[in-house]
Structure 1
Amino acid sequence: MIKASQIKKVLIMNQGEVMMRSRGKRVRRRRRRRSRGLGNWFLPVSALCFLLAVCIMGFKPDASAQGDSTSLAKTAYQPNSSTQTNPDSATDTLKVIEQGASTQTDPNFFPLQPEPSVGTQQDPSSTSPEASGSPKTTTPDKDSWNLLLVNPWNPLPTDYSLSLTELKNGLSVDSRCYPDLQAMMDACRADGLSPVICSAYRTQEYQEKLFQNKVDRLIAQGYSEADAPVEAGKSVAVPGTSEHQLGLAVDIVDINNQHLDETQESTAVQKWLMEHSWEYGFILRYPNDKSEITGIIYEPWHYRYVGHEDAEQIHSLGVCLEEYLEGVS
């Protein structure tokens, strides 16, 4: 027979079990409601995050393109490490050029100078003639060896002396003008031309021989013995007044026309020399329209060394040596 205490115990256990089951149901309902609430928010939040990500990616520069740009900039400004240590130093650049110049044999080679920085104030007196638009003009030194005037009215000084350098063809010139003469001939040949030096330094004896030969030919043509020397002096300098005796003058002809007459001016060699000889310190000594001043006929083959600076001025001013030394512009 079941006791009342046992029945009570069973009832209490059943009641507890019912309560636990009821509590479990409530917990599960709360969890379901919470899950449904999170589910309702998840999609809108996810969509918003996605939109933000798209916007950020749209405005962010492409990393690969940025990397290529940086690499290109480095390549464009990266110097050759074997010749320059500091790409931002103009002084280092000049040093490299000067080191190269020390091994140059060309006497006309000059190192480049670095350009002034933007905004740097320059002294107006240091402006180059090319920049100012006018040729540089300085007072010529008449006593300088390279400007010594020798013409029918100014004979060679009796104490004149010089050091000679022999050319490959056996002729000689003043050693001081030889490097520039060689540079000029090399440049002319480099342009495909064939210049020939047919006369250079002459001794007093040789000049006397040339002059007498000219006098004899004129007498044979009918000139009197008094007039022949005067006429001869127009084309062959009287001994002691020839620039060839200075060692600074050369007669240059085209290999295809070796005649000392006015046909020389139409040759390719003479056209080149008339345009470029001043760049090497030489001038066309007896121009076509200056015979009354020089005392010598037009000689489109006779070039005289006066030095780079003076040759540039004479060429720019369009004067002969006599005018230049007298300050005629």
Structure 2
Amino acid sequence: MATIHKLIALALAFTALVVVVSPATYKEGDPIEHKSLTLGEVLDGDRMAHSLYDIKFRTDVPSKKVLCNVKYTEKMLDVLRSAIEDLYYFEFVLDDIPIRGFIGHLEEGGFLPHNHKIYLWAHLHFNIEYNKDHIIYANVTTKDQLPISLDGATTPMELVFTYSVKWMNTDLSYEDRGTRLRDNSFFPKNLEIHWLSIINSLVLVFLLIGFVVIIMTRVLKSDFARYNIEDEEEADDLDSDDNGWKIIRTDVFRFPPNKNLFCAILGVGSQFLALATGILLMAMAGMFNVHRHGAINAAAVVLYAFTSSKLG
């Protein structure tokens, strides 16, 4: 693993938006070279393209290296401003490690007067950690460089995009790099699994099921005792009210109206229950990780196809 020729850039939406917003994948006059996608990546809506970044393994780029020059028209600047206001972010993939960052910066403050300023990050600094011949972690920062203001920019506006690279040795093993990626996620950690709460909920559910089973067993046992009495005199001593589960035996085995629709709904519900159970079991077994893009979607499609033959 001597050289990393190029990063893989993930397009934000459409190719036209990539050309305007992400010059990392585009240079005027050159076609965009797209990467072949897996089933999961297609279902995720990913559009992979080779970037212009040339990063060599364990070779620092301490100073600003020019990536490309881009001339922006007024229409392109409008698209760029809208993308920054909507908090668009870019994503690179380096050795199956996602590297994400915002393409710009929005500053708002005050009520009267209201301040609204839009900035673009034109320089990216890559921090890459390695252990022997393996890349362990990578991220991108912009804090060391001032952004470029897009307020009141005159067109055509020419911008120079640059980058720098810093390689750092780490003791973290290649097998444990997934933990580092999960602990340093770009997205906020809103969802955390509270195992104690889940266990308490499961115990409560099983207790309720046990109580219902005990009550139903007692009711059915009394009904069976009454129905199995052969002596009419003893039967008269019991409650002669016409109640119990046997009075509805004719309704239990009667076809409901719209039985085809009922069977279809029951089958689809069972299919989705089996599908969700399968995905949860696969996730608990550790079959999904950040290195397999779109693995959950691909697994869902495969499970849906398999369960359709029996449950759908």
Both structures adopt the same fold (TM-score exceeding 0.5)? no
Structure with larger RCO (C-alpha < 8 A, sep 6+):
2
TM range (shorter): under 0.3
The structure whose residues are more often strand, as a share, is: 2
Greater helix content: 1
